[in-house]
């Protein structure tokens, strides 16, 4: 659970960086904001395909360290070492921002919602993954990765095809 807290701290930082960048893009140009949206949809499709394909050769993950602060630090560093998350958040956020309404409150609501939902999902995922590992079911892990990849591809397609107020 402490590793999850580390992941959430790193994600909060990346979310903040992406939100500031997108707010700037929105202030500069609605067209630039739409371009970011399309690039984000393409990125979601790419990471979904990559996740599904790597599930065919994935080795078992190493366990988290036993020491509590080390687990928190490893969760934070693992997530913070992935600068692709800025792109990920930049891909997701434009889909939910109304350019005709003040961006700050929208980003705040999205940020809080994102962290709360992600905390719940990561806790469930950790519990499920622990059970799968305890009972030696690596095939289940592979299928979860494949389904997750397919859902990211579908989300990218739907977000790319979905209309926002900028697409009029």
Instruction: For 22-46, write each residue's pLDDT tens digit.
Output: 767 666 676 776 776 777 778 778 8
Q: Return d(Cα 3, Cα 71) in angstroms, integer.
A: 5
Buried/exposed 27-66: b ≥16 CB within 10 Å, e otherwise: eeebeebbebbeebbebbbebbeebbeebeeeeeeeebee
Residue 77 CA to residue 17 CA, distance in Å, equals: 17
Average pLDDT on 8-16 reads 87
Q: Looking at 3-7, 9-13, 123-127, 162-166, which range is the least confident one?
A: 162-166
Task: State residue 33's pLDDT score.
Answer: 66
Please report, rounded to a whole number, the percentage of residues in the chain having pLDDT higher than 90.
Answer: 9
> Considering the entire predicted model, what is its pTM?
0.56
In the chain, alpha helices (H): 2-28, 30-54, 68-80, 84-92, 103-134, 138-161
pLDDT given for residue 62 in this prediction: 47
* pLDDT, the chain, mean: 78
């Amino acid at each position: 659970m402490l590793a999850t807290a580390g992941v959430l701290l790193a994600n909060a930082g990346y979310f903040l960086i992406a939100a500031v960048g997108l707010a700037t893009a929105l202030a500069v140009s609605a067209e630039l904001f739409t371009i970011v949206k399309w690039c984000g949809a393409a990125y979601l499709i790419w990471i979904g395909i990559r996740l599904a394909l790597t599930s065919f050769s994935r080795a078992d993950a190493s366990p988290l360290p036993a020491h509590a602060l080390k687990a928190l630090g490893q969760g934070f560093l693992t997530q913070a070492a992935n600068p692709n998350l800025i792109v990920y958040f930049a891909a997701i956020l434009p889909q939910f921002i109304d350019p005709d309404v003040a961006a700050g409150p929208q980003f705040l609501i999205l940020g809080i919602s994102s962290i709360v939902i992600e905390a719940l999902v990561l806790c469930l995922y950790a519990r499920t993954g622990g059970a799968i590992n305890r009972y030696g079911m690596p095939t289940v892990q592979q299928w979860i990765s494949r389904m997750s990849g397919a859902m990211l591809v579908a989300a990218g397609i739907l977000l790319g095809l979905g209309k926002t107020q900028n697409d009029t």
